[in-house]
Amino acid sequence: MPTVEEIRKALEVVIDPELHRSIVELDMIRRIELGADGEVSVTVSLTTAGCPIRGHFQSSVRDAVMGLDGVRSVNVDFDVLSDEQKSALQRTLGRNDLPAGALALVENVVCVGSGKGGVGKSTLTANLAAALAGEGRRVGVLDADVWGYSIPRMLGLAAERPAVSAERKIIPLDANGIAVMSIGFFVPEDSAVVWRGPMLHKALKQFLEDVEWGALDFLLIDLPPGTGDVSMTLAQLLPQASFVIVTTPQPAAQRVARRAAEMAHKVSLEISGVIENMAGFVTPDGERYAIFGEGGGQALADELDVPLLGRVPLTMPLRAASDAGVPLVVENPDDPASQAIRHAARGLIALAPPPRPSAPAPVGMALPMAG
Ligand SMILES: Nc1ncnc2c1ncn2[C@@H]1O[C@H](COP(=O)(O)OP(=O)(O)O)[C@@H](O)[C@H]1O
Ligand SMILES: [Mg+2]
């Protein structure tokens, strides 16, 4: 009789026709049992109960095991991957979906998401990037809001086009040391991008693997609002990414933001923190009005058991600087909104895992989070 290990080895030839990998490598073999009289039972975990390729697995598993000396009958059973196993599978796939070199030199990938648009996600992404750069970090911004891109304008790059290197890689544009890539660089301003499904997947994949990101401490990704295709695709391509959720102080907004959190959980992206934006309006004289109420960010952070990285007030200079294409944290680091964003950036640094040994040491020191 063959051993369990020999049977497992023999099963390496069984390829999942959709995922194009061996079911052993994909860790889809749940159980191998040896009975009396050369009887073998194999349980294969499928991604869905109604998997249309059951029949394929049934016959190829049987054929692979029958080929072993001493095996007289093969029983193939099925069960369904648990959510946890599915996430692990997704991680395996994500990692292998990108060629080994892509993003190899990026230490931290941080997706900035929200349940809905207009909460200041892009404004915060652009300013967090500038604040991280101000802390001596190497930073890139990928604008993944393919349908509502606004990063080019906010970073003053709306009229520019990226070049292509001799190796046929796209060179990100430079905004004061920040490497920036956006679909907005490739389409006429204000034209609608209608990609969905495979086209979208391909475009995002290209932004990750055909762009010369180089060595970065942080790659910030400005997600489109909601929990749709883009977030799912990126989660699949970037299983190592963490997720920062932007919300406003209202309880209703917090409920919407919670959906983004649920999505992150579902695709097993780690949520690293919440940023509350529009946390009151601060007048030019420094008076503060809680126009959207208070406490939503903290409540969401408590519920998700993650830190509240910052409470960023509405200020007129932040709106004006965004429109003018200059991050306010650079133009006026002392504005109350800038201070809050810089605080959040230091929080991101504090939360980032220490750099991998092979990577160059980061420039500067990680500051502990205040407060
Ligand atoms: N804290 C803030 N203070 C002032 N204006 C802000 C603030 N946050 C966002 N805005 C403004 O609100 C609008 C929407 O912000 P944006 O970053 O585009 O949101 P999103 O990316 O979530 O759709 C922009 O005009 C931006 O300048
Ligand atoms: Mg936006």
Return d(Cα 269, Cα 243) in angstroms, integer. 7
Report CA(292)–ligand 1 centroid distance (Å): 14
Centroid of ligand 2 to alpha carbon of 119 (angstroms): 8
List pocket residues of ligand 1, CB cut-off 6 Å: 114, 117-123, 150, 277-278, 312, 314-315, 318-319, 322, 337
- Taking only the tens place, the pLDDT of each residue in 179-232 is 999 988 988 766 767 777 777 888 888 899 899 998 999 999 999 887 777 887
Whose alpha carbon is nearest atom 9 of ligand 1? Answer: 120
- Whole-number pLDDT of residue 361: 41
- Which residues have CB under 8 Å from 336's CB, separation 6+? 282, 286, 313, 315
pLDDT of amino acid 99? 57
pLDDT, tens digit, 9 for 90 and up, residues 256-266: 888 888 888 87
Of 322, 326, 335, the residue with max ligand 1 atoms within 8 A of its CB, to mutate for a pocket test, comes to 322
Strand partners, 164: 170
Q: Residues within 5 Å of ion ligand 2 by Cβ?
A: 121-122, 145, 150
CA distances from 47 to 41, 71, 83, 86 (A): 20, 28, 9, 7
| Relative orientation angle of helices 316-324 and 336-351, to the nearest 10 degrees | 70
pLDDT at 359 over 50: no
Across 56-60, 231-235, 259-263, 315-319, least confident range: 231-235
Question: Domains, the chain, ranges and CATH?
Answer: 4-81 (3.30.300.130), 99-351 (3.40.50.300)
CA 348–ligand 2 middle distance (angstroms): 20
Structure tokens, 256: 């919407």
Percent residues over pLDDT 70 in the chain: 90
Give me the pLDDT at residue 190, please.
67
| Averaged pLDDT of the chain | 87
Residue nearest to atom 12 of ligand 1 (CA): 120
CA-CA distances (angstroms) from residue 70 to 77, 156, 347? 20, 71, 61
Helical segments of the chain, H only: 4-10, 54-66, 83-97, 121-134, 151-154, 197-209, 229-237, 251-266, 296-304, 316-324, 328-331, 336-351
As a whole number of angstroms, the distance between CA 120 and CA 274 comes to 13
For residues 344-357, give the mean pLDDT: 83
Q: How far is CA 185 from CA 163, 166, 176, 322, in A?
A: 11, 20, 17, 18
The region of weakest confidence among 96-105, 114-123, 242-251, 325-334 is 96-105
User: Region 72-82: what's the mean pLDDT?
Assistant: 91
Across 282-310, b (16+ Cβ under 10 Å) vs e yields: beeeeeeeeebeebbbbbbbeebebbbbb
CB 43 within 8 A of CB 30: yes
Tens digits of per-residue pLDDT, 244-256? 999 999 988 888 8
> Whose CA is closest to atom 19 on ligand 1?
120
Q: Give this prediction's pTM.
A: 0.73
Query: What is the per-residue pLDDT for 51?
Result: 64
Token output for 237? 């391509």
C-alpha distances out from residue 17 to 21, 226, 322, Å? 8, 32, 48
- What is the arithmetic mean of pLDDT over 294-320? 95
> Is the per-residue pLDDT at 322 higher than 70?
yes
Q: Assess whether pLDDT exceeds 50 at residue 366.
A: no
Residue closest by Cα to atom 6 of ligand 1: 319
245: which strand partners?
113, 274
With a CB cutoff of 8 Å and minimum separation 6, the contacts of 43 are: 29, 30, 31, 32, 76, 77, 78, 79
Residue located nearest, by CA, to atom 27 of ligand 1? 319
Mean pLDDT in residue range 292-306: 93
26's CB contacts (< 8 A; 6+ apart) are 16, 19, 89, 92
Ligand 1 nearest-atom number relative to CA 124:
17
Sorted by sequence, the CB contacts under 8 Å of residue 9 that are 6+ apart come out as 24
Lowest pLDDT segment from 49-63, 87-101, 234-248, 288-302: 87-101
146/332: higher pLDDT: 332
* pLDDT at site 326: 96
Spatial neighbors of 146 by CB under 8 A, at least 6 apart, are: 183, 193, 195, 200, 203, 204, 224, 230
Give per-residue pLDDT as tens, 132-161. 999 999 999 999 998 889 999 999 998 889
Bridge pairing between strands 106-113 and 73-80: unpaired
Q: What is the structure's pLDDT at 100?
A: 53
